[in-house]
């Protein structure tokens, strides 16, 4: 399992796609938060906080993470190496978890350079250091949990096809629907007393709850449960006879 985890990291980081994906994420984040004027610009906010960064990044994740996961299983299936993996001591459970941990590691690696933004806002505070470090820490925790949930979703999509393009598009669509769909639907107040149940189903609801700086065990448990279920589904798709 450790060997497969390392292989996944090496394969992504040594590929042109890997370099481009990470570079595009940092470029888009940098432009919207430091160059382009508007609601996402941290310098125009007038306060020492990273709220706009935490609210904007999930939308970038909708394209970044499917690009990370699209080849994880689809390429193995296309090249015929998936069967080879399954005949080794690695079972479907270890294969999926190794790829999940590798994908989540890449998400964390993509976020690390953005800590420079925290350093800048920290230095620009009046007085210097006038920023809620706890809220920033909670925001990054929320992004990691959301990123891990998107990785799990991407693995489910990748496990269903041998086409990277299909895996990317289906993963991006699934992440969009799961992140924003229920909260958008619940906002129309179509279900009366059940509206809060619909809102509870949305990833956005739990991410925003953590992003406010208050880490509630229930929100963390929601992400843990979703990730576990998604990975179990991906493992199911890898069983012999499944496609």
pLDDT by residue (tens digit) across 151-188? 999 999 999 999 999 999 999 999 999 999 888 887 76
Read off the pLDDT of each residue in 56-74 and give the average, rounded to a whole number.
92
Q: What is the pLDDT of residues 16-26, one digit of tens each?
A: 888 888 999 99
pLDDT of residue 241 exceeding 90, the answer is: no
23 compared with 43, residue with greater pLDDT: 23
**pTM, entire model:** 0.92
Q: 158 and 171 in contact (C-beta within 8 Å)?
A: yes
What are the domain boundaries of the chain? 2-237
Of 103, 110, 109, 150, the C-alpha closest to 25 is 110
Buried/exposed 57-84: b ≥16 CB within 10 Å, e otherwise: bbebbbbbbbbbbbbbbbbbbeeeebee
């Amino acid at each position: 399992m450790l060997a497969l985890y390392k292989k996944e990291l090496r394969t992504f980081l040594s590929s042109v796609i890997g370099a481009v994906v990470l570079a595009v994420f940092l470029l888009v984040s940098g432009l919207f938060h430091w160059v382009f004027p508007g609601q996402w610009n941290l310098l125009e906010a007038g306060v020492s906080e990273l709220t706009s960064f935490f609210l904007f990044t999930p939308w970038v994740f909708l394209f970044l993470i499917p690009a990370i996961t699209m080849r994880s299983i689809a390429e193995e299936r296309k090249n015929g190496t998936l069967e080879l993996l399954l005949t080794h001591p690695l079972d479907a459970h270890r294969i999926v978890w190794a790829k999940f941990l590798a994908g989540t590691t890449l998400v964390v690696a993509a976020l690390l350079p953005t800590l420079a933004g925290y350093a800048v806002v920290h230095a620009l505070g009046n007085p210097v250091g006038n920023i809620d470090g706890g809220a920033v820490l909670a925001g990054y925790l929320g992004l990691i949990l959301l990123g891990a949930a998107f990785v799990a979703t991407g693995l489910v999509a990748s496990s269903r096809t041998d086409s990277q393009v299909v895996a990317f598009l289906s993963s991006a669509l699934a992440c969009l629907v799961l992140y924003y769909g229920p909260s958008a639907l619940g906002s129309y107040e179509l279900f009366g007393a059940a509206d809060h149940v619909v809102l509870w189903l949305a990833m956005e609801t739990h991410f925003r709850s953590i992003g406010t700086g208050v880490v509630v065990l229930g929100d963390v448990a929601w992400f843990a449960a979703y990730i576990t279920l998604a990975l179990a589904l991906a493992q199911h798709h890898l069983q012999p006879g499944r496609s």
